[in-house]
A and B are shown apart, each in its own frame.
With several copies, the nearest count.
Chain A
Amino acid sequence: MVGNVSDAPAPAETSSVVRLQEHIIEIVSDSGEGAQKAGQAYGAISAKMGNGVWTVEIIPAEIKPPARSRAGASGIRVRVGAREITNMGDEADLVLALNEQVLYGRIEQGAYKPGTVVLLESKWAHDGLAEVREAYAKAVAEFRALGLDVRELPLEQACLEVTPDPRVGKNMFVLGMLCRLCNRDMQRARDEVSFMFKRKGDEVVARNVALVEAGYEFAKHNLDMEFEIPPAPRDHQVVVMNGNQAAGLGIMASGMEMVAMYPITPATSVSHYLAGAFQKVGGCVHQAEDEIAAVGFAIGASYAGKTACTITSGPGLALKTEFLALAVMAEVPLVVVLVQRGGPSTGLPTKVEQGDLLAVLYGQPGDAPKIVLAASTIEECFHMMVTARKLAEAFRTPVIVLTDANLATGVQPFRRPEVHAEWMAAPLDQSPWDPEITAYDWNETTGLSPRPIPGQRGGQYVLTGLAHTRFAKVAYDPHANQTGCDMRSRKLAALASTLKPPQVNGEPEGELLVVGWGSTRGAIEEAVDRVRADGHQVSSLHLRFLSPMEPGLAEIFARFEKVMTIEINYSDAADAPLVGTSGQRRLAQLATLLRAQTLVDIDSWSNVFGQPLQPGPIHDEIVRRLQHGGDACSA
């Protein structure tokens, strides 16, 4: 590669194409500059070309942070690969930045490495304000000192040749540049842009296509690099979407027709999507007055035979605690989608955490056994909704599906689901109820019972959250309460007995087994693959069922010298002050559960950085553990 491109771009038509297995780009800017749109289009084009893709938004903390502020980085990261991409990866290879200040925040977050190419808008070097010019110059020098390969480019000026208002069009210009640099199919790019702006009329479409083409040409003439990421062969249609859209589609595919919610980040966008989509597919989003009312409303619909869904995040879950216990106690099918964010309390509303596992399992006073699943991919966000509705009805209980901010906003292509009519709820059963069958006709072994639906003649009963008999009659005597609790608990054993042991990723035995759950799967498996490639006997295991858990865990664990979980939630560092003396280290949530269940000495490695886990740090931590041979050193 040749040295930095300065303001006076040198012609660079001599570049030769570098073939890559994967490539990570970022577009960062002030908010409102359209970086996310450009990145999404770039991801979509790549997906269409057959590449694996993972897209993740870079979100500033405030709605409208001031321009050119360090914490104001708004944008997108797109990781494209020759095979399926399951996570955001490590440091970016190429960054397109519309101002230099927003890069500081990203650098602090470890998003780049020495050698990362930064294509930087250079207009700030000529800004009217001296302080802007100085800040720019200082930043460029600092970035270079850090080893970033900064290329200063007059993007705005170049755009002006195509559009009178570059602030609006620059993102498409950037897209064009990326198409050239990464060898994207320009026809697909034109189509994508045309589709995006279709509603705004031909003129807008034409202008934006022109911008993309201008960007392409600009890169071709000004930058001496060109990559190629070969596609993975694919024999099926794919869809591209984020986890919240996938959950929304899954809800509709499950036949649920009522989603009751109260707005809360990062869950709300499921309802934004559904508010429109239900108009076509039939159904209703009820925005309730609060989270308590939302879950109550969903329970009402479910009780009346139309299993419903409520969607929320941490603080909303807290408010639903009482109703959740009622649904368990009175055996009402219900689906709860919990899009986890950073906690506790209001915490980190836009950031990722897997911190609500224990709260969903144990949050309700008394014994409230329920089914808990965790989606590990965007595709699972779709399919688990179908499973959840079925389980909720079959087991007459709430089913909680855990996702998180990483899945919610991440975008990934996956095999287009073929919707089956059987996925949808059966039509409302209004046939007469057999009067011989009680309202809770518990099977002693499984705890399961059929459920009368209002409208079914002869099925009349009164649902209650008080202790009750199989006739649904309130009863305070010791045995009635014990029986009710037994029956509700047995449903979990019954479900567990139908599950298969989970598949180990890698060899079934070895030095170390890494256990995870939820959205970290891609990063963990990628890291474990790398460690194995380094020559270590490391495998990983990912749990989809958290309550009940899949069977056979103790047996799987027994074949490894060490077992640890990797999670995005809080744990005390093993070497934290005083933790040693008190002998009570607080471990990560899944680790705590697995220890109690299997009595295996399971360690955990976790943090509450609010960031998706990346394969690099996981890889390094695993290697460190293997070398130290002990669990005394962790962070």
Chain B
Amino acid sequence: MFGLKSDPSTELPERYFSLEDYEGGVARWCPGCGDLGVLTAVQRICRAEQLPPEKVVCVSGIGCSSRFPHYVGTYGFHGLHGRPLPVACGIKSRRPDLTVWVATGDGDCCSIGAGHWIHALRYNMDMVVMLFDNSVYGLTKKQTSPTTPQGMSTNTHPSGAWLPPLDPLTAMLGMTNVSFLAQTVDWNPAHLHATLAAAYRHKGLGFVRILQRCPTYSAGVFEDLQRDPSRLLMLTGPRGIQVEPAIANMFPNKREHDPSDLGTARAICEAHDPVPIGLLFQDESRPCYDAFTNHGLGMPTADKVAALEKELDRFTV
């Protein structure tokens, strides 16, 4: 049968992976696009963790940010607009041995994919989900996204977006079985890296919202935040995202936060200004759906045949 040779080799020589092992095609994002920084961070984490590239799968939907898998030297699944999460969960369901990174956009995740978003948080399967939130539809050239600021002019709302933007953070903090929620910005590589690494280490679904610059279609949305770091509120604390003091010092505004404190996390997000970065919530005790989907994994064929015969007995007259 194609693709299913039956003699998996078991012994492999020891390997060391360098950054190039995680490089794919030349990234084709616009100059200044925040996506590039995230790509670099993920590649570095893969190297730091020495993940065999063949054991990693990057899954995405459709959008600028969803081009992500094409630029990574691992396996990739660049699927349908709004649908990366069901695919990623499906991959994990019978392949717990694979590391899964999901790249999704604010349109992909919070608009067309919103139903899957809620439910993937509930399933809480072991993977990292990166929400590239540039507050706009990039690939299709500037339409309003759920996170577009009210009043910002787009091609579908030339006189300005009509409604206040959906806040993905408060939305997620209300959803059942969320187990890891963090926010970071594309323009601080150290904080970005540390946050994604923490999500990677988290057992369960590590959700990271990344404020991502799109100079082409939503220039200015994060300009203030970038220019004036005091508009950001860096969450600190022993259980939070850890960065070097030099990095931490870049953020004048800090607050110690216990990521098990859901109420405070909500209050911080609800305030909207300053904009929190860091680990908002974490609870590793929440059940993971993987435990159920993996049922019978590796059961020998002979046992399966025997069990099946027993099933057939039930129908035999």
> Inside 8 A of A450's CB, which chain B residues have their CB?
2-3
A: residues with CB less than 8 A from B are 44, 47-48, 62-66, 237-241, 245, 249, 252-253, 255, 257-258, 260, 262-265, 268, 271-272, 275-294, 296-306, 308, 315, 322-323, 326, 345-346, 390, 393-394, 396, 413, 416-417, 419-421, 424-432, 448-466, 473-474
Which chain A residue lies CB-closest to B94? A306
> Inside 8 A of B31's CB, which chain A residues have their CB?
64
Q: A299-B87, A393-B4, A396-B3 are in contact. Are A257 and B305 (CB under 8 A)?
A: no
Interface residues in B, total, Cβ within 8 A: 94
Interface-facing stretch out of B113-121, B218-226, B252-260: B113-121
Which chain A residue lies CB-closest to B117? A289
B window 64-78: CB within 8 A of A = 64, 69-70, 73-78
> Inside 8 A of B94's CB, which chain A residues have their CB?
257-258, 284, 301, 304-306, 308
Would B112 and A262 count as touching, CB distance under 8 A? yes
Would A290 and B299 count as touching, CB distance under 8 A? no
B67 CB → nearest A CB, Å: 9
Say whether B149 faces chain A, with CB atoms less than 8 Å apart: no
Would B53 and A238 count as touching, CB distance under 8 A? no
17 new A-B contacts at CB < 8 Å, known A287-B156, A463-B78: A239-B315, A253-B308, A262-B111, A263-B107, A279-B159, A284-B296, A293-B83, A297-B86, A297-B89, A300-B92, A305-B95, A426-B1, A426-B4, A426-B6, A429-B8, A458-B54, A459-B54
> Inside 8 A of B293's CB, which chain A residues have their CB?
258, 284, 286
Would B308 and A419 count as touching, CB distance under 8 A? yes
A-B CB proximity, top 9 nearest = A282-B296, A300-B90, A296-B86, A451-B3, A462-B76, A297-B90, A282-B299, A290-B112, A300-B87
Which chain B residue lies CB-closest to A283? B296
Would A326 and B144 count as touching, CB distance under 8 A? no
A432 CB → nearest B CB, Å: 6
Instruction: Determine the distance from Cα of A474 to Cα of B28 in the docked complex, in whole angstroms.
Output: 12
Would B88 and A300 count as touching, CB distance under 8 A? yes
B296 CB → nearest A CB, Å: 2
Interface-facing stretch out of B42-50, B133-141, B229-237: B133-141
> Inside 8 A of A239's CB, which chain B residues have their CB?
312, 315-317
Say whether B301 faces chain A, with CB atoms less than 8 Å apart: yes
Would A245 and B301 count as touching, CB distance under 8 A? no
Q: A289-B116, A393-B1 are in contact. Are A427 and B88 (CB under 8 A)?
A: no
Partner of A281 from the list B57, B86, B311 (CB cut-off 8 Å) is: B311
> Inside 8 A of B310's CB, which chain A residues have their CB?
280
> Inside 8 A of B55's CB, which chain A residues have their CB?
454-455
B window 9-46: CB within 8 A of A = 9, 12, 24-25, 28-31
> Inside 8 A of B114's CB, which chain A residues have their CB?
289
Instruction: Determine the distance from Cα of A566 to Cα of B87 in the docked complex, in whole angstroms.
Output: 38
> Inside 8 A of B246's CB, which chain A residues have their CB?
none
Q: A289-B112, A308-B90 are in contact. Are A255 and B304 (CB under 8 A)?
A: yes
Instruction: Determine the distance from Cα of A450 to Cα of B3 in the docked complex, in whole angstroms.
Output: 5
Instruction: Determine the distance from Cα of A112 to Cα of B274 in the docked complex, in whole angstroms.
Output: 58
Would B70 and A474 count as touching, CB distance under 8 A? yes
> Inside 8 A of A63's CB, which chain B residues have their CB?
30, 64, 138-139, 141, 216
Say whether B81 faces chain A, with CB atoms less than 8 Å apart: yes
* Sampled A-B contacts (5; CB under 8 Å): A64-B28, A271-B156, A305-B94, A427-B6, A462-B69
> Inside 8 A of A425's CB, which chain B residues have their CB?
4
> Inside 8 A of A451's CB, which chain B residues have their CB?
2-3
Total of A-B residue pairs, C-beta within 8 Å: 299
A166 CB → nearest B CB, Å: 21
Partner of B74 from the list A264, A276, A426, A460 (CB cut-off 8 Å) is: A460
Would A284 and B317 count as touching, CB distance under 8 A? no
Say whether B309 faces chain A, with CB atoms less than 8 Å apart: yes
> Inside 8 A of A424's CB, which chain B residues have their CB?
301, 304-305
> Inside 8 A of A304's CB, which chain B residues have their CB?
57, 90-91, 94-95, 98
Which chain B residue lies CB-closest to A325? B80
> Inside 8 A of A288's CB, which chain B residues have their CB?
86, 119
Instruction: Determine the distance from Cα of A304 to Cα of B6 in the docked complex, in whole angstroms.
Output: 16
Partner of B83 from the list A296, A455, A459 (CB cut-off 8 Å) is: A296
Q: A240-B315, A301-B91, A431-B7 are in contact. Are A457 and B1 (CB under 8 A)?
A: no
Say whether B278 faces chain A, with CB atoms less than 8 Å apart: no
> Inside 8 A of B294's CB, which chain A residues have their CB?
284
> Inside 8 A of B90's CB, which chain A residues have their CB?
258, 260, 286, 296-304, 308
B202 CB → nearest A CB, Å: 21
Instruction: Determine the distance from Cα of A61 to Cα of B110 in the docked complex, in whole angstroms.
Output: 26
Partner of B156 from the list A249, A263, A289 (CB cut-off 8 Å) is: A263
Q: A281-B311, A297-B86 are in contact. Are A431 and B8 (CB under 8 A)?
A: yes
Would A280 and B54 count as touching, CB distance under 8 A? no
Would A431 and B54 count as touching, CB distance under 8 A? no
Would B1 and A245 count as touching, CB distance under 8 A? no
B107 CB → nearest A CB, Å: 8
Instruction: Determine the distance from Cα of A37 to Cα of B213 in the docked complex, in whole angstroms.
Output: 28
> Inside 8 A of B164's CB, which chain A residues have their CB?
none
> Inside 8 A of A289's CB, which chain B residues have their CB?
111-112, 114-116, 118-119, 146
> Inside 8 A of B28's CB, which chain A residues have their CB?
62, 64-66
- In this complex, which of A245, A289, A297, A323 has the most chain B Cβ atoms within 10 angstroms of its Cβ? A289
> What per-residue 1/0 map shows which CB atoms of B98-132 lie under 8 Å from chain A?
10000000010001101110110000000000000
Which chain B residue lies CB-closest to A395? B2
Would B87 and A303 count as touching, CB distance under 8 A? yes
Partner of B70 from the list A284, A297, A315, A462 (CB cut-off 8 Å) is: A462
B139 CB → nearest A CB, Å: 7
> Inside 8 A of A262's CB, which chain B residues have their CB?
111-112
> Inside 8 A of A303's CB, which chain B residues have their CB?
77, 87, 90-91
Which chain A residue lies CB-closest to B90? A300
Would B93 and A393 count as touching, CB distance under 8 A? no
> Inside 8 A of B312's CB, which chain A residues have their CB?
239, 249, 416-417, 419
> Inside 8 A of A271's CB, which chain B residues have their CB?
155-156
Say whether B52 faces chain A, with CB atoms less than 8 Å apart: yes
> Inside 8 A of B155's CB, which chain A residues have their CB?
268, 271-272, 275
Instruction: Determine the distance from Cα of A431 to Cα of B12 in the docked complex, in whole angstroms.
Output: 10
B15 CB → nearest A CB, Å: 9
Would A432 and B9 count as touching, CB distance under 8 A? yes
A463 CB → nearest B CB, Å: 5
> Inside 8 A of B29's CB, which chain A residues have their CB?
64
A449 CB → nearest B CB, Å: 7
> Inside 8 A of B137's CB, which chain A residues have their CB?
263
Would B57 and A454 count as touching, CB distance under 8 A? yes
Say whether B151 faces chain A, with CB atoms less than 8 Å apart: no
> Inside 8 A of A285's CB, which chain B residues have their CB?
156
Instruction: Determine the distance from Cα of A319 to Cα of B28 in the docked complex, in whole angstroms.
Output: 29
Say whether B307 faces chain A, with CB atoms less than 8 Å apart: yes
Which chain A residue lies CB-closest to B110? A289
Instruction: Determine the distance from Cα of A262 to Cα of B301 in the docked complex, in whole angstroms.
Output: 28
Say whether B295 faces chain A, with CB atoms less than 8 Å apart: yes
Which chain B residue lies CB-closest to A292? B83
Instruction: Determine the distance from Cα of A289 to Cα of B139 in the docked complex, in whole angstroms.
Output: 16
Instruction: Determine the distance from Cα of A421 to Cα of B306 in the docked complex, in whole angstroms.
Output: 10
Instruction: Determine the distance from Cα of A296 to Cα of B118 in the docked complex, in whole angstroms.
Output: 16
